[in-house]
Amino acid sequence: MTILNRRDLMIGAGALGAAAILPRTGHAAGTLTAAIYPGTWEEAYRGVVAPALKKAADIDVAFDSLFAVDQVAKVRAARGVPPFDCFVLDPGPAAAAQAAGLFEPIDASKLSNAPKVPTGLITSHGVTCNAQVVGIAYNPKKFAAAPKGWADLFKSPYVERLGLTGFQTTFGTVSIIEMAKVFGGSETNVEPVFAELKKAVAKAAAVAAPAAMPGLFQQGQIDIMYTNTNTVAILKGRGVDIEFVKPETGAITFQTTLHIVKGADNVANAYKYMDTAISAEVQTLLQRQPYNMIPINKDVTLVDTLDIKSLDELAKMATHDWSKINPLRAAWIERFNKEITK
């Protein structure tokens, strides 16, 4: 079994092509500062969204490369002096940030592409920019049969080649919750899966941070993991033997959203940034290799590398109530680190 240190995790992140963090530019007319996830998201938004925004509105965007929890922490620490104009967040951190009053309200009439986004994906304080789908990824050349569901991860021959990761990310949290349900738990009761994790950890191929998982899979150190279709498509595009399985209890979906920071300097430009991000032109480019992001614009025809055939499939997938999860998540992270990653 492999337990990775900080250096290993940096190598893992590098395997997905993490881009260098660039310094922020100052706020000025025709500019905008937006937080962005490191790695593929940063590459995609620098390579596609920023040029499209420049072309459409002559606005330069500077990116602040931060994971979701770090974005929220940075804005909280700024105490009313926003360090950037836009968040990009998954549902858990988004719910926490909204509860803390860190968002400006959204006026959908300022988004020309709003009518192209399915109902419910633009809310009072956020604009969905992409959907994510989570399930099981495995190497088809390493197993005689594909895994069928979450419980299979804890059985031979899968558990011996499994990569375990905890609650630090949205995909990790919702995957473990779905595993807990299979063993008798619920959205707020993960006790049953901790019992299974304690038995599995001695057999598993690796326990590591989420960013390291794709690199471990690519290097052949693990052959099965829980992850999103975006990661699967990226690895497949690099020639890695990998397939995505929707668990028999259903795949998981959640949305990634853009938000205007409370008190932002460049609100008008933030609207143009969000409007560009959800445009059909940009969404079409973001769904292609090497970015593989599931689009939310109804005018976009899905490519066949996304592991879903229609956006209608999203409505049938498992979703989660982060207002219930958030109060418990920090304790789950601490417990996973203490009892499983030790």
User: Alpha-carbon dihedral of residues 43, 45, 51, 52, nearest 10 degrees?
Assistant: 140
Whether the per-residue pLDDT at 145 is higher than 90: the answer is: yes
Inform me whether the pLDDT recorded for 4 exceeds 60.
no
Break the chain into its structural domains and give their ranges.
30-131+254-316, 133-252+322-341
pLDDT higher than threshold 50 for residue 336: yes
Q: What is the mean pLDDT of residues 6-10?
A: 36
Confidence (pLDDT) at 120: 86
Which is more confidently placed, 251 or 14? 251
267-293 tens-digit pLDDT: 999 999 999 999 999 999 999 988 889
The class that CATH gives domain 30-131+254-316 is alpha beta
Quick check: 9 pLDDT over 50?
Answer: no
CATH architecture of 133-252+322-341: 3-Layer(aba) Sandwich (3.40)
**Longest alpha-carbon distance in the chain:** 59
Whether the predicted pLDDT of 48 surpasses 50: yes
pLDDT over 70 percentage in the chain: 92
- What does the alpha-carbon distance between residue 25 and residue 189 come to, in Å, rounded to a whole number? 45
- Rounded mean pLDDT, 101-126: 95
What pTM did the predictor assign?
0.79
Given a cut of 80, whether residue 88 has pLDDT beyond it is yes
Which residue intervals of the chain are DSSP H helices? 6-15, 40-44, 50-57, 68-78, 91-99, 170-182, 191-200, 213-218, 229-237, 267-277, 280-286, 322-339
Same fold? 30-131+254-316, 133-252+322-341: yes
Segment 176-212, tens digit of pLDDT: 999 999 999 999 999 999 999 999 999 999 999 888 9
Average pLDDT over residues 116-141: 94
Lowest average pLDDT, out of 25-29, 69-73, 312-316, goes to 25-29
Q: Which amino acid is at 205?
A: A
